[in-house]
Structure 1
Amino acid sequence: MAHSKVEKTNAARLLDRAKIAYETVPYRVDEEHLAATHVAEQLGEAIECVFKTLVLRGDRTGYFVCVVPGNHEVDLKAAAKISGNKKAELIPMKELLPTTGYVRGGCSPIGMKKAFPTYVHTTAADHPFIYVSAGVRGLQLKLAPPDLIRFVGAIVADISREANSL
């Protein structure tokens, strides 16, 4: 995968350093519509291969990260169980930037302020490549799921359900 000429984000620099192939793919941002469905439409890609990065807090282990398809919602019970917690909840939006270094709509599983336990939904393996945020709004990273999983040390797990089935 070739690198297009776009500003390098910290996540992209980390992938470069690790010699992991990826592509940066820009898209038009709509501040009123930061949902993954908008990103998928802008990219002209299926929502199932555009993954969103969500940060949760468990009652026992603290912060952890879930990377799920854009048409899914985190299953809080399943995420809590796989992460060694009794309960887990999404962190409040005001905690996102100070905790991860990223803003809503630009949260990447790569290059957070601290390495948190990360869980990637099992369907990532169904795709030759997936998209995740490059760490800023308006830019996605296109990369092979095994590369992302290996790089962030993620555990692959069934941590979400299609949004309409929860």
Structure 2
Amino acid sequence: MTLQWVPATGRPDLLAGPVTRAVADLEGVEVAEIDPELADTAAFCERYGVSLDESANCVVVAAKRGGETRYAACMVLATMRVDVNGVVRRHLDARKTSFAPMADAVERTGMEYGGITPLGLPEEWPVLVDTRVAEHPRVVIGSGVRRSKLAVPGATLAGLKKAEVLSLAG
């Protein structure tokens, strides 16, 4: 099956509410409708012929220190693992860092699990973008819902207001 990419601003029905607002200010963001049962990265890539190194995942982390919990998003290529307990924990100056529980991530982002994207996250959340994502000409990421994917230039992700580019692999 072939993906039909169209400008994301023209298909708000394929985006979560916060994502619709975020893409209004960005250029070069496209959206394609997919089978929601195939939203998970490996199944999506296999079915739609997108390579894992063209696909990027958004991982929501909870960073704790002194009784306070802060959230952040990490963008890495699908071929990589985020060093949550090393690089991310130190960068966020946290005592403990872990993947945010699914229900927590969904509630706080206003997006569906399996579709969470850095576009439209709460303003106070840092978006940690791995250098390989930032340098990529175009990555496929979530759209806030499971029934579509976005294609976004890496430079657009690196240029988000709260983005910080660093090497996120351990």
For this structure pair, what is the TM-score category when the shorter chain's length is used for normalisation? Answer: 0.7 to 0.9
1:68 aligns with 2:76: yes
Matched residue, 1:50: 55
Alpha-carbon distance between aligned partners in 1 of 2:130 and 2:158, rounded to the nearest angstrom: 10
1:3 aligns with 2:7: yes
The one-letter code of the counterpart of 2:150 is L
Matched residue SS, 2:121: coil
Matched residue, 1:141: 150
Matched residue, 1:20: 27
Where does structure 2 lack aligned partners over 5 or more consecutive residues? none
Contact 1:22–1:142 at 8 Å: present in 2 too? yes
Matched residue, 1:108: 117
Deviations 1:19-61 (A, max 9, x none): 422110222222xx65311122233111112111111111236
TM value normalised by structure 1: 0.83
The one-letter code of the counterpart of 2:31 is T
Matched residue, 1:164: none
The one-letter code of the counterpart of 1:81 is R
Alpha-carbon distance between aligned partners in 2 of 1:42 and 1:151, rounded to the nearest angstrom: 30
Where does structure 1 lack aligned partners over 5 or more consecutive residues? 162-166
Deviations 1:59-108 (A, max 9, x none): 23611111111122221111111222232100111212221111211111
Sequence identity percentage: 22
Alignment: residue pair count: 158
